[in-house]
A = this chain, B = another copy of it.
Amino acid sequence: MGANYYQEAKPLLVAVDCIIFGFAGDQLRLLLFRRKVEPHQNEWSLIGSFVQEEENVLAAANRVLEESTGLRNIFLQELGCYGIAERDPGARVISIAHFALMRIEEPSEQLADRYQAHWFDTDQIPNLILDHREMVMHALEKLRRKARYQPIGFELLPEKFTIPQLRSLYEAIYQKELDRRNFRKKILSMDILEKLEEKDKTASKKGAFLYRFNLEKYQELVAKGFNFEL
């Protein structure tokens, strides 16, 4: 110890990996990529990168997201550290896994072509390299837990959405049916949705009113002690 404190320690490679979730067709989906390098070249993998010398870890995850989807400012949060010494046969690498939530919109096919990426159903995930399956499973657990107490579900929906769409999302997350009428009652009673004049008519004959999540209102309520729970 002492003067040599920092010199005596052995540095390790530090990576970030991103578990990217989306929602489409009433299903929760995961974005996976073909690995470009050996070992395991061409196998399905989470997208990741090494953390650069002067780069914040979270910034590295954001960079990876932008490089792999073209999107900035999407929901991104740390999942945890994967630090088993032998987890990567290529070298001693610890990975800080992050999970991201994005709206799947038009560029979906472009994504696939440009980045060799593909959306998988979360209950049909192919074999993944290293400990990536474990990361995905943990991310799913975390998403399920977190979605209940924080309004993060909206990150997966378009800005304007219907109550039935929102319910369908929660049914996908929780993997269980929710009563239409009670769900609507509960979410509306929170008073964090803004009702719009427009209706979405793509999903039903009658059509359903579009709503928007009101972040300011939500934060105001939270400041007064409100707890989101769905």
CB proximity of A68 to chain B, nearest CB, Å? 14
A91 CB contacts on chain B under 8 angstroms? 6
Contact B14 A94 (CB under 8 A): yes
A46 an interface residue at 8 Å Cβ cutoff?
no
Contact A96 B81 (CB under 8 A): yes
Q: How many copies does the complex hold?
A: 2
Point out the residue from B15, B55, B85 that lies within 8 Å of A56, measured CB to CB: B85
The residues in A between 76 and 105 inclusive whose CB is less than 8 angstroms from any CB of B are 78, 80-81, 83-85, 90-94, 96
Q: Are B36 and A1 in contact (CB under 8 A)?
A: yes
Candidates B2, B5, B13; contact of A90 at CB < 8 Å: B5
How far does the alpha carbon of A5 sit from the alpha carbon of B14 in the complex, in Å? 13
Taking the closest CB of chain B, its distance from the CB of A66, in whole angstroms, is 18
> Closest CB of chain B to A16's CB: distance in Å?
9
From known contacts A14-B11, A90-B6, A94-B14, infer whether A57 and B37 are also in contact, taking CB-CB under 8 Å: no
CB contact list, A116-165 vs B, under 8 A: none
Which chain B residues lie closer than 8 Å to A10 at the CB level? 50, 52-53
Q: Mark A1-32, 1 if CB is under 8 A from B, else 0.
A: 11101100111111100000000000000000
- The answer for the CA separation of A96 and B110 in the assembled complex, in Å, is 37
Between A and B, 24 residue pairs with Cβ closer than 8 Å are A5-B37, A5-B38, A5-B90, A6-B93, A9-B13, A9-B15, A11-B12, A11-B14, A12-B12, A12-B13, A12-B14, A14-B14, A51-B83, A53-B85, A53-B92, A54-B85, A55-B85, A56-B83, A56-B85, A57-B84, A57-B94, A78-B81, A80-B80, A83-B96
